[in-house]
């Protein structure tokens, strides 16, 4: 899915091998230098080793920096390619598959989820490749001195580089599953106590609900601890493996002491310590692999066809006469949004209305000025028209309270306004739109009952908020008493009435 450029990835791995290879060589040369200096030879005999130590110490930092540049460049380019292909598939795929998802989910999937996927290159692929190369190199060097010590080192490296990462990844996956299972129970109990505290207090049930929320919290913590137990073992395995490999080198050194030089024994003792430096990153790499697989599944689910896409409810044909006012009624899931999307031509239909503009319930509020948030509906609208639209939806006082009026930046987008203000701002955007047919999905959601009834009445009355010649279709759960307009009532997959 990432399709990284192989030459760039190999370059990053090469720099990583050179960086940690410098550390491995630095350990070997330092061991030789310390032992040789103990023998007190002429100083000139140590000059080459001294310069080599300095060169290796410098090269480790230089190559490490180059590895970071190369690996991050590869990951960022791969992430950009994934986003480009993702945008293309979303743009050319079924519109309903996109519009049915909450904008927050889409933003997360094309943002954080793609980042999580691309992190696999920097935090998993490169460290694993570097550790594999250096592990083989370290075992090969030790094998020249002592095959037995090399065998012990190889087994310990497998424990630290395979077993420990496997346990760490399994613990991470288990923790995420537990969190997903327990969070809903804990949050349900907590939200029940918050939403229905007065009723529960009257019925003497509030203490029981609070106690249940507390039990769910403790159960969640205990489950997380149990799921994290393998991670504790995974953290201990590399240290234990390093100790065993050093012990094996010591025993081999005792056996070889009469027949090899002291400098060789020093290399045999210290080199295994440096050989484990590359494998230290492997548990985190395994966890990143697991997380990136989850991210890949999320992205794949975003672009694959929904099996339910072809099983839409049977919806009526709705002829829209100029100036008509139509209310689409029904409970959640009955097909109101699907009907509006079909009328707008966003879902396959025989005769889409190319003049219709669909305004979804969760339309995006951009982190820019109030003016720009309205101009997305019609770019040539002047400030007087924008101000008039805001006043008509009840945001006149709010606009006057802003420090820079229409030029005020909504920092954080929707987070800068309340739910009611957001709904009114989206309604003002619809007023600015030049489309002769306006399709509004739940335009009065999050408004109080009085304001909701008033807006619905004005929306569905010719000459109210919209001029009488414009066609307005509103999907809503209810209508104010006494309001006369054409109605389409949906129930499940059936149309129970069309008036």
The residue-averaged pLDDT of 208-212 equals 83
Topology match between the domains 311-355+435-498 and 364-432: yes
Classify burial at 459, counting beta carbons within 10 Å of its beta carbon; exposed 0-12, middle 13-18, buried 19 or more: buried
Buried b (16+ CB within 10 A) or exposed e, 365-384: beeebbbebbbebeeebeee
pLDDT in tens, 89-118: 877 766 555 655 655 566 666 777 888 888
DSSP 8-state code for residue 280 = G
Domain boundaries, the chain: 6-303, 311-355+435-498, 364-432
User: Would the pLDDT of 448 be above 90?
Assistant: no
**Which CATH superfamily groups domain 311-355+435-498?**
P-loop containing nucleotide triphosphate hydrolases (3.40.50.300)
User: Residue 314 and residue 308: Cα distance in Å, rounded?
Assistant: 13
The pairing of beta strand 486-491 with beta strand 471-476: unpaired
pLDDT in tens, 1-15: 667 788 889 999 999
For the chain, the average pLDDT equals 84
pLDDT of 352 reads 57
Distances (CA, A) of 320 to 437, 442, 484: 8, 19, 17
Task: Supply 98's token pair.
Answer: 């996109």
User: Residue 461 and residue 474: Cα distance in Å, rounded?
Assistant: 12
The residue-averaged pLDDT of 35-41 equals 91
Q: Does domain 364-432 have CATH number 3.40.50.720?
A: no
pLDDT in tens, 404-426: 999 999 998 888 888 889 889 99
User: Residue 156 and residue 151: Cα distance in Å, rounded?
Assistant: 9
The pairing of beta strand 356-359 with beta strand 437-441: parallel
Which contacts qualify for 371-374: CB closer than 8 Å, 24 or more apart?
371/406, 371/407, 373/410, 373/425, 373/429, 374/425, 374/428, 374/429, 374/432
Across 53-67, 224-238, 252-266, least confident range: 224-238
pLDDT of 88 reads 82
Across 92-96, 311-315, 374-378, least confident range: 311-315
User: Residue 469 and residue 227: Cα distance in Å, rounded?
Assistant: 63
User: Would the pLDDT of 310 be above 50?
Assistant: no
User: Residue 28 and residue 130: Cα distance in Å, rounded?
Assistant: 19
The residue-averaged pLDDT of 277-296 equals 86
Classify burial at 257, counting beta carbons within 10 Å of its beta carbon; exposed 0-12, middle 13-18, buried 19 or more: exposed
Percent of residues in the chain assigned helix, strand, coil, to nearest 5? 70, 5, 25
Q: DSSP secondary structure string, 451-470?
A: HHHHHHHHHTSTTSSS-TTS
Classify burial at 39, counting beta carbons within 10 Å of its beta carbon; exposed 0-12, middle 13-18, buried 19 or more: exposed
- Contact of 355 with 434, CB cutoff 8 Å: no
User: Would the pLDDT of 22 be above 90?
Assistant: yes
The residue-averaged pLDDT of 278-292 equals 86
Greatest Cα pair distance, the chain, in angstroms, is 108
Query: With the CA atoms of 393, 415, 411 and 367 taken in that order, what torsion angle do they form, in degrees rounded to the nearest 10?
Result: -70
pLDDT of 314 reads 59
pLDDT in tens, 177-204: 666 566 556 666 676 777 677 777 877 8
DSSP H or E stretch at residue 43: none
Q: DSSP secondary structure string, 342-377?
A: HHTTSS--SS--TTEEEE-TTPPPPSSBHHHHHHTT
Q: Is 471 helix (H, G, I), strand (E, B) or coil?
A: strand
CATH number of 6-303: 1.20.1560.10
Which contacts qualify for 445-448: CB closer than 8 Å, 24 or more apart?
445/361, 446/419, 446/420, 446/422, 447/420, 447/423, 448/420
């Amino acid at each position: 899915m990432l399709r990284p450029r192989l030459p760039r990835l190999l370059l990053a791995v090469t720099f990583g091998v050179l960086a940690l290879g410098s550390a491995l060589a630095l350990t070997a040369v330092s061991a030789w230098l310390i032992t040789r200096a103990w023998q007190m030879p002429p100083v000139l005999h140590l000059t080459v080793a001294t310069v080599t130590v300095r060169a290796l110490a410098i090269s480790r930092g230089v190559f490490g920096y180059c590895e970071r540049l190369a690996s991050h460049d590869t990951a960022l380019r791969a992430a950009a390619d994934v986003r480009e292909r993702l945008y293309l598939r979303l743009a050319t795929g079924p519109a309903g598959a996109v519009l049915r998802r909450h904008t927050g989910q889409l933003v997360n999937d094309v943002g954080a989820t793609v980042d999580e996927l691309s992190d696999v290159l920097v935090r998993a692929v490169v460290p694993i490749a570097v550790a594999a190369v250096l592990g083989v190199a370290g075992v090969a060097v030790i094998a020249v001195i002592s095959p037995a010590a090399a065998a012990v080192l190889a087994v310990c490296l497998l424990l630290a580089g395979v077993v420990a990462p496997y346990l760490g990844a399994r613990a991470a996956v288990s923790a995420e599953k537990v969190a997903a299972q327990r969070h809903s129970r804990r949050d349900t109990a907590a939200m029940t106590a918050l939403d229905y505290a007065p009723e529960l207090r009257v019925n003497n049930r509030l203490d029981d609900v609070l106690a249940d929320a507390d039990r769910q919290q403790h159960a969640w913590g205990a489950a997380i601890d149990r799921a994290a137990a393998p991670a504790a073992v995974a953290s201990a395995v590399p240290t234990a493996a390093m100790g065993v490999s050093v012990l094996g080198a010591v025993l081999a050194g005792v056996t070889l002491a009469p027949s090899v030089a002291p400098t060789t024994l020093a290399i045999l003792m210290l080199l295994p310590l440096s050989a484990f430096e590359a494998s230290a990153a492997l548990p985190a790499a395994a966890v990143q692999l697991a997380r990136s697989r989850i991210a890949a599944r999320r992205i794949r689910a975003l672009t694959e066809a929904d099996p339910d896409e072809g099983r839409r409810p049977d919806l009526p044909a709705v002829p829209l006469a100029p100036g008509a006012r139509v209310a689409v009624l029904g409970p959640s899931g009955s097909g109101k949004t699907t009907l509006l999307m079909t009328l707008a031509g966003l879902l396959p239909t025989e005769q889409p209305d190319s003049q219709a503009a669909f305004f979804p319930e969760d339309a995006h509020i951009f982190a820019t000025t109030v003016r720009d948030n309205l101009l997305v509906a019609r770019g040539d609208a002047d400030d007087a028209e924008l101000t008039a639209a805001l006043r008509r939806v009840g945001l006149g006082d709010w606009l006057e309270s802003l420090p820079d009026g229409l030029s005020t930046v909504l920092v954080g987008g929707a987070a800068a306004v309340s739910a009611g203000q957001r709904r009114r701002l989206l309604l003002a955007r619809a007023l600015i739109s030049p489309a002769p047919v306006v399709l509004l999905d739940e335009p009065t959601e999050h408004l109080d009952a009085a304001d909701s009834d008033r807006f619905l009445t004005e929306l569905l009355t010719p000459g109210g908020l919209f001029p009488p010649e414009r066609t307005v279709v509103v999907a809503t759960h209810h209508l104010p008493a006494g309001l006369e307009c054409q109605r389409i009532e949906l129930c499940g997959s059936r149309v129970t009435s069309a008036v």
